[in-house]
Structure 1
Amino acid sequence: MNNSLFAASAADLTIERIRALAARLDQVESLTLEYKSEYSTSLVTTIAAMANTYGGMILVGVNDRVEPGLERLVGVDAQTTIDQIVSGCSTMLDPPWEPSFFNVPFDDGSGRSIVVVRVDANVAPRPILVKLKAPIRLSGRNATADRTRLLQLAREEPSAMVLPMGQNVMSPTLERDSEGKATADFILRTGINLPMGEAAAWRPLSEKTVAALAQALDDSAFPPALHNLGNGAIDYAKGFRPLGHNRARKARLVWQATGRPAEKKHLVEAVASVEIPEIYGAAAASPVVSVTIDVIARVCQYAEGRGNAGWKHRYAVPDLAALFDGLLKAVVDPKVVAEIARIADIDTSLVAQPRELHLVADRQVKELLHCNGLQEIPGAGASAGGVFRSNPALNLRSTADRDEQVDDWLRQLGLDAGLTGMEGVVEGYRAAATRTAT
């Protein structure tokens, strides 16, 4: 679910954020989002439908239509509305079940509010029936489950995860040569797990679909960030293209850069992999489509291997910030999201934001970083990487939220590496970026 309000804490649910969401033309009603101007019994049916599908969020007090002169946020009396929803869930739903409610008051003293209803399908007692039927959620509307879907809901384990939220990406492994030496300075990985639509279960990956994803990645902010990581040493780059192990249910797209076209050592490399599980004969657990993106950097090794012309390279914090930012921009880019959703045969609203970042280095992280402004903490020990979690309340499509996430990761990187001064370095490059922008 790529709407950050679903994961936001109660303190972060503000009328400003809801107003900004309602103003976005791309945030229409979908599988996981619905607007209601006021309470009605159809709202309770939507709660059941979302609970029986992927979960979602209902904003009560928001018009679902966007028309000139029509106020989008109309508000409701929060307590009255919540009481009506609770009563409806008690009398209409079988078994009775309540979602979570949040009162977000207007800031104009009117006493009106937006009621945020969160439906978590992972805790709902599926199937939930309304008048002996099981509502399910389609794109922007409700429908009724057929016999097959109803049986599937009834057979689910109570603890089964309905919608993976981008967690549990496998940590990467640095490749090693015949002498056991790592072949890269570090590898960075992020990724997401997605539910799989019906067509994805039988449909092989088409060349056209894979090419469209490669083009979307090439058009994103990712390649410039990768190029920047080379610190001026990159003269030649090849865009994302199928390379290596590609099969009917697995796509592997690779971006590579070298110092010169004739050189074989890739200074920077990125690998985007999409894997669709084979469900026939598989266990009953819900199948998921796995998407991972790896960044493999070799600039330090490249510099050290230049003989007499070699130099000692270290990665500057602003360059890492640009890499993190470009990577996050790419995975939430609407074109990239649309192609991933097409492959998985799901609504784009189900393409979650990445929730973790893995870093594995061939040496201590502090030996990879430019020391300008950073100081080693005596006796802090060694760190050759780590796992960096993201804040689920942040909307990574927002520049401000993305900057906040990148800065948090850099601060953790410095602390885990046993270094002080990272906060000052982060503040310094952000101030420099602001001056450049103005």
Structure 2
Amino acid sequence: MHPLFHVPSTEVTLDLVQDFINLKIREGLTVEYKRAGDKPIEAVAALANTYGGLLFVGVEEGETGVPSEIKGVSLGEKEKLVNQMGTGFDPPWSPEVIEVPCNEQSDKVVLVVRIDRATVPRPIVLKGSIFVRLDARNEKANRQMMWMLLDDSNSQPESRPSSVTRGLNVRESPFHQDNEPDAALRAASVMRLWEGEERTRFPSGLAATVINALQSTLALPLLSQLGLALVGGGQVVTTPWQLVDATSRRLRLRISTVGADGSVPRAPARR
């Protein structure tokens, strides 16, 4: 991965930006270039609602989407963009915007906007519309795309430690409700389960097939050991897999462990 993705903002220089431009990476799902005068705020919203990525403001590109030259923008463009995001995004949110001087004699800068998807409170709404990234285009999401964003379990940004000196033994639950688990297993299919119109339920018998497949994995003994540690020793009983709900895109199951005497951890973070 190019260093521009992860170096500290104070170390992002024009040479580093030029090095990235020289790679001739086409505009795509995670990279976009904007010339002076273009409106970058829609690109920020689209990248944030999709996979995140890099946006360069002040970079010319050719007809094929390949960057060609750094022209820069005026010094006030960063403040203008930040203000637009602060007032135009719902919920209010702003990514990292790095201002890189083009050279010492020029009053031009290039803006490098780094969008970390994990910190985005998705979906980001801009003036009543939800923009998403489709290849090298920023498009308004249709109804199905909106539902996918609203149904995304990662729609909330990842929590960040308040201090790097926090003790390793301090446990904080990432969930707000007491009845939510502290650990979750997630599996995803990379192939279509059926063709044709979208269904509102999984086909009959598919849930049982998934549960049977899970029985032969390490999930069951792992959760049993976890439950044994949480209830403070002794024997534990692991409940069978239970179907919570099923849609056309997601199958949610539940399994839990309790002490042989029926005891359960009282701390919400350990349930």
Q: Give the TM bin, normalised by the shorter chain.
A: 0.5 to 0.7
- From 186, 202, 210, the equivalent of 2:192 is 202
Q: Are 2:42 and 1:45 equivalent residues in the alignment? A: yes
Partner of 1:137: 133
Q: For residue 96 of structure 1, give the secondary structure of its aligned residue in structure 2.
A: coil
Q: Using the alignment, how far apart are the partners of 1:139 and 1:283 within structure 2? A: 34
- From 251, 258, 263, the equivalent of 1:281 is 251
The answer to whether the 8 Å contact 2:121/2:157 transfers is: no
Q: Are 2:47 and 1:77 equivalent residues in the alignment? A: no
Q: Are 2:123 and 1:153 equivalent residues in the alignment? A: no
Aligned residues: 169
One-letter amino acid matched to 2:32: E
- Matched ranges for 1:303-382 at <5 A: none
- From 111, 117, 130, the equivalent of 1:115 is 111
Q: Would the alpha carbon gap of residues 71 and 32 (structure 1) be closer, same or farther in structure 2, given more than 3 Å must change?
A: closer
The answer to whether the 8 Å contact 1:90/1:96 transfers is: yes
Q: Using the alignment, how far apart are the partners of 2:11 and 2:253 within structure 1? A: 39
Q: CA deviation at 1:3?
A: 4.1
Partner of 2:23: 24
Partner of 2:121: 125
Once the two structures are superposed, what CA deviation does each residue of 1:199-257 show, in whole Å capped at 9, x if it has no partner? x3328xxxxxxxxxxxxxxxxxxxxxxxxxxxxxxxxxxxxxxxxxxxxxxxxxxxxxx
Partner of 2:204: none
Partner of 1:34: 32
The answer to whether the 8 Å contact 1:66/1:72 transfers is: no
Q: Are 2:93 and 1:93 equivalent residues in the alignment? A: no
- Matched ranges for 1:155-234 at <5 A: 155-157=151-153, 158-159=155-156, 200-202=190-192
Q: Using the alignment, how far apart are the partners of 2:114 and 2:104 within structure 1? A: 25
Unaligned runs of 5+ in 1: 162-195, 204-278, 285-438
The answer to whether the 8 Å contact 2:33/2:56 transfers is: yes
Unaligned runs of 5+ in 2: 159-187, 194-248, 255-271
Q: For residue 72 of structure 1, give the secondary structure of its aligned residue in structure 2.
A: strand
The answer to whether the 8 Å contact 2:121/2:156 transfers is: no
Q: CA deviation at 1:96?
A: 2.6
Q: For residue 117 of structure 2, give the secondary structure of its aligned residue in structure 1.
A: coil
Once the two structures are superposed, what CA deviation does each residue of 1:259-316 show, in whole Å capped at 9, x if it has no partner? xxxxxxxxxxxxxxxxxxxx763569xxxxxxxxxxxxxxxxxxxxxxxxxxxxxxxx
One-letter amino acid matched to 1:38: A
The answer to whether the 8 Å contact 1:52/1:137 transfers is: yes
The answer to whether the 8 Å contact 1:57/1:117 transfers is: yes
One-letter amino acid matched to 2:49: N
Q: CA deviation at 1:144?
A: 2.0
Indicate the RMSD between aligned Cα atoms, in angstroms: 3.1
Q: Using the alignment, how far apart are the partners of 1:11 and 1:90 within structure 2? A: 23
One-letter amino acid matched to 2:34: K
Partner of 1:6: 5
Q: CA deviation at 1:156?
A: 3.0
Q: Would the alpha carbon gap of residues 283 and 75 (structure 1) be closer, same or farther in structure 2, given more than 3 Å must change?
A: farther
Q: Using the alignment, how far apart are the partners of 1:135 and 1:201 within structure 2? A: 26
Once the two structures are superposed, what CA deviation does each residue of 1:11-32 show, in whole Å capped at 9, x if it has no partner? 331111211221223x011111
Q: CA deviation at 1:146?
A: 2.2
Once the two structures are superposed, what CA deviation does each residue of 1:393-422 show, in whole Å capped at 9, x if it has no partner? xxxxxxxxxxxxxxxxxxxxxxxxxxxxxx
Q: CA deviation at 1:34?
A: 0.7
Q: Using the alignment, how far apart are the partners of 1:280 and 1:88 within structure 2? A: 36
Q: CA deviation at 1:93?
A: 2.1
Once the two structures are superposed, what CA deviation does each residue of 1:51-79 show, in whole Å capped at 9, x if it has no partner? 11111111111112279xx961101223x
Q: Using the alignment, how far apart are the partners of 2:156 and 2:93 within structure 1? A: 17
- Matched ranges for 1:227-246 at <5 A: none
Q: Would the alpha carbon gap of residues 280 and 60 (structure 1) be closer, same or farther in structure 2, given more than 3 Å must change?
A: closer
Once the two structures are superposed, what CA deviation does each residue of 1:124-158 show, in whole Å capped at 9, x if it has no partner? 22111123221101111112222222122223344
Greater fraction helix: 1
Partner of 1:15: 14
Q: For residue 63 of structure 1, give the secondary structure of its aligned residue in structure 2.
A: strand
Partner of 2:56: 59
Q: CA deviation at 1:100?
A: 0.9
The answer to whether the 8 Å contact 1:53/1:137 transfers is: yes
Q: Would the alpha carbon gap of residues 89 and 39 (structure 1) be closer, same or farther in structure 2, given more than 3 Å must change?
A: farther
- Taking only the aligned residue pairs, the percentage that are identical comes to 29
The answer to whether the 8 Å contact 1:135/1:143 transfers is: yes
Q: Would the alpha carbon gap of residues 140 and 57 (structure 1) be closer, same or farther in structure 2, given more than 3 Å must change?
A: same
